[in-house]
Amino acid sequence: MSRSIRSRYLCFALSLALVAGPATNGSAAESSPEPGIGIASPEDVGVDSTALVRMSEWIRKDRLDVRSLLVIKDGKLIFERYSHGLDRDYNYELYSVTKTVTALNVGILADQGKIGIEDEVAPWILKQRPEFGAAARDKAGIRLRHLMSMSSGLLYRQVEGSDPLYFQAPDRVSVALSAKPRIPPATEFEYTDANPVLVGIAIQAASGEPEHEFAEARLFRPLGMRNARWTGRDGTGSVSGGWGLRLRAIDMAKIGMLMLQDGEWEGRRIVSKAWIRQMTAASETAMDYGLYTWINHVVESEPEFGAMGFKGQFITVLPKQNAVVVMTGILPTDGGLRTATYLNLYRRMVNDFVLPAMHAVPKPAFDEARRKALKRELELAAQTRGEPGTGLAFNDGPER
């Protein structure tokens, strides 16, 4: 490495260390992410940092409650923004981003020959919970593929504010099995949280262990994750396949990179390329949804896929750019799955700032002025508390 390149690398690493807080102890060397992710300035990989600075200024001045915002390109962390005293070691409630992790768990089991996407779910439920024979009888014909593409045809009537499917459930599978077939499977896209509960119990039956333990051994540890917690266990000790997972933003980025890299991590095969392609292919009932994965839901101008969680949790993969964008936050929740304010705000971040930064022509050159501007803006962001866009739940606080 030449002296000039080394100087540029250390300058940018130091700027990250200054905003990363206690986890890095202010050391340039210690500011590097975990194995599997490098570090660079935006300009080192052809990205215009001025557009990223403008994005951060907008978020800060509008006091949007964006807790973390990361951009990885060419395997390198080029932008790492945290708000009001947060740092890399905090984890966040991911809400429905959890579903995408559940899809990866199914893929790992499918690669091992222990489960199949075309398997009917009822036999898996009864293998784990034989007492539910009567409740599972009307689920005949519903396959894992239907549950994971949100086309099971099951109708679950959610109780606003105190739904027993969520954190108060003594036995979540019992509640999910109360959902009744409304239409035949593969007829219509209908997003319901009963579906991933049933997938989760199938994972447990096929693997012989609870989903959170399977994920820890087969996914989280191989990717070098830390502070991962899967909360919300019910009275039987089971987690939900659809929500409750807490990850650091940098570990969310690893999930995105794993998918970007067709299931490989540092030369190790975690899940098959064929499974990643299946997850990210449009389903029978929705062109923008695969297997617990959104497709061109954020970006329309080029290929994109990823995960979305309530209130503003995102993993976005941009294959053409060889890039991943991650955000956590508490943004306004008005609107639906495709029109929510939190989604539209994030769409603006990616389409109006991140992609233009990557499309910059001519490619920007690194200079001291850009470095200082980025460093200063990240420092200001670290001192700014955003205003939550909706009411805070008990699980919305960042945790170390």
pLDDT band at 366 (very low <50, low <70, confident <90, very high): confident
Give pLDDT, residue 308.
98
Confidence band (pLDDT; 50, 70, 90) for 33? low
Confidence of residue 32 (pLDDT cuts 50, 70, 90): low
Q: Where are the alpha helices (DSSP H) in the chain?
A: 3-20, 49-61, 97-111, 121-128, 133-136, 144-148, 172-176, 194-207, 211-215, 249-260, 273-279, 341-349, 355-358, 368-382
Superfamily of domain 88-295: DD-peptidase/beta-lactamase superfamily (3.40.710.10)
| Mean pLDDT to the nearest integer, 283-288 | 97
Residue 26 has pLDDT above 50, yes or no: no
pLDDT single digits (tens) 190-231: 999 999 999 999 999 999 999 999 999 999 999 999 999 999
Predicted local confidence at residue 13, as pLDDT:
43
pLDDT grade, residue 7 (50/70/90)? very low
With left for phi above 0 and alpha for psi between -120 and 50, is residue 75 left, alpha or beta?
left
Give the pLDDT confidence of 108-158 residue by residue, as tens digits: 999 999 999 999 999 999 999 999 999 999 999 999 999 999 999 999 988
pLDDT digits (tens, 9 = 90+) for 268-278: 999 999 999 99
pLDDT for 158: 81
In the prediction, which pLDDT does 34 show?
A: 79
Task: Say yes or no to pLDDT of 1 above 70.
Answer: no
Query: Residue 175 pLDDT > 80, yes or no?
Result: yes
Average pLDDT (41-54) is 97
**247: closest CA among 279, 213, 220?**
220
Can you give the pLDDT at residue 271? 98
